[in-house]
Amino acid sequence: MTAVLSTHGLVARYGDFQALYGVDTELHAGESVALIGANGAGKSTFLRAIMGLLPVGRDMVRLDGAPVGGTRPNEMVGKGVAIVPEGRRLFTGMSVEDNLRVAIDRAGRAGARGGWTLARLHRLFPILAEKTKVPVQSLSGGQQQMVAIGRALLCQPRVLLCDEISLGLAPKVIREIYAALPEIRAEGTAMIVVEQDVGLAQSASDRLYCMLEGRVTLTGRSAEITREAIGEAYFGVR
């Protein structure tokens, strides 16, 4: 079966600094894959490289087997890839609804098609229905994260890239947000979830990749990987 998304010897640099050293991964339709690793391992860089936010070789990223590396982010949205970026990056000073409408317009312009609407998003995160006119900066961190996820979903992704969506949130809120992920997958959306919390990453994914200093050091089925193996791959101890 062709992977919906795959990377092949993915290399990324910031000027002279090399952040990724030949990363091979694959993601199948409807699958959830977690990407773990210490600070600076290259996880955000990996997502940004896929999304076209960093220059990479054409053949290094493929969608349904077709090379798309280096495609501009707006075009990637049109091809069905959306990102929930680290730090959320919402448009402050704009209401919840206006933030979400930006995504609807963006998806429309990019030609992305799918079943996500504001009404469906409100069923997924009911609190957003009560806050439509509220400026995003006055929401709690968890509510802002829901807007960020909603904004990505309204891009109608087949592949959703989530960058540390639990960061800085209370455990109860994290549970609430992670509880929404299976519902998103039920639509056939595959996802890559970058997560610092290893237990959370394991429980939310079918398969897992661990990265260290720009390289994949471990991969396998999340339910089968031992804590010991993760510890070694995470810290590079032998």
191 within 8 A of 5, measured Cβ to Cβ = no
Q: Distance between CA 177 and CA 218 in Å, rounded?
A: 26
Q: Which one-letter DSSP state was computed for residue 25?
A: E
- The least CB distance from residue 46 to ligand ATP, in Å, is 7
Helical segments of the chain, H only = 43-50, 73-78, 96-110, 118-124, 126-130, 141-153, 171-185, 198-203, 227-235
CA 33 to chain centre: 10
CB nearer ligand ATP, residue 39 or residue 226: 39
- The least CB distance from residue 15 to ligand ATP, in Å, is 7
- The least CB distance from residue 44 to ligand ATP, in Å, is 3
Query: Given the rule CB under 6 A, which of 11-19, 63-71, 112-120, 177-185 is the region that contacts ligand ATP?
Result: 11-19
- The least CB distance from residue 12 to ligand ATP, in Å, is 8
Q: Which one-letter DSSP state was computed for residue 223?
A: T
- Considering only residues 1, 17, 93, 237, which one is a binding residue for ligand ATP as defined by CB under 6 A? 17
Residues between 19 and 58 that touch ligand ATP (CB under 6 A): 19, 37, 39-45
- Per DSSP bridges, beta strands 32-36 and 215-221 are unpaired
Residues between 79 and 138 that touch ligand ATP (CB under 6 A): 86
142 within 8 A of 170, measured Cβ to Cβ = yes
CB nearer ligand ATP, residue 4 or residue 41: 41
CB nearer ligand ATP, residue 44 or residue 166: 44
83-115 b/e with 16+ CB inside 10 Å = b? Answer: bbbbebebeeeebbbebbeebbebbeebebebe
- The least CB distance from residue 110 to ligand ATP, in Å, is 25
Q: Within 13 Å and on the Cβ side, how many CA atoms surround 57?
A: 11
CB nearer ligand ATP, residue 37 or residue 52: 37
Site string for ligand ATP, 174-213 (x = CB under 6 A): ----------------------------------------
Q: Which residues form the interface with ligand ATP (CB under 6 A)? A: 14, 17, 19, 37, 39-45, 86
